[in-house]
């Protein structure tokens, strides 16, 4: 499952920004393989955090994860193409910080969290052999 698509990245950041980050051979054309790889990498990274709290793949994808997927994919593209700026590094670090909060449960995606098991403790033991009755103690 991916959390972003080429079209969603273009909608959020514009065609020119995506071309700038993903034109690997400077021929003025988008390198679709690089875009797909960046989307796959960012989605896998998101899964590592989200899976701490939710079962993946998710049945529905919250819009915030689409936003994080787009941001992280653009970071991957810019990083691997040596056009990374402090702004994109900050955006990526902010995305990771939010994912950490999702993983630890301080931010809720509004999805059902699977049960992790019962919190009660059950103890079983053998029948008592020595009691007041069979020892003749008052």
Closest to 85 in 3D by CA, of 12, 7, 21: 21
Cα angle: 121, vertex 126, 127; to 5 degrees: 120
Quick one: the chain helix, strand, coil %, rounded to 5? 55, 0, 45
Closest to 38 in 3D by CA, of 58, 17, 21: 21
47-89, pLDDT tens digit by residue? 999 999 999 999 899 999 999 999 999 999 998 777 888 999 9
pTM for this predicted structure? 0.79
Closest to 65 in 3D by CA, of 18, 114, 109: 109
Q: How far does Cα 111 stand from its chain's mean position?
A: 13
């Amino acid at each position: 499952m991916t959390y972003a698509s080429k079209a969603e990245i273009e909608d959020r950041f514009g065609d020119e920004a995506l071309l700038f980050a993903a034109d690997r051979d400077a021929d003025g054309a988008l390198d679709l393989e690089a875009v797909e790889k960046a989307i796959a990498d960012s989605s896998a990274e998101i899964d590592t955090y989200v899976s701490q709290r939710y079962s993946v793949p998710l049945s529905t994808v919250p819009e915030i994860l689409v936003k994080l997927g787009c941001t992280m994919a653009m970071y991957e593209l810019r990083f691997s193409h040596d056009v990374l700026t402090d702004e994109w590094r900050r955006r990526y670090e902010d995305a990771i910080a939010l994912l950490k909060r999702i993983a630890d449960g301080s931010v809720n995606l509004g999805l059902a969290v699977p049960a992790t098991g019962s919190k009660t403790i059950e103890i079983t033991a053998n029948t008592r052999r020595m009691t007041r009755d069979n020892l003749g103690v008052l």
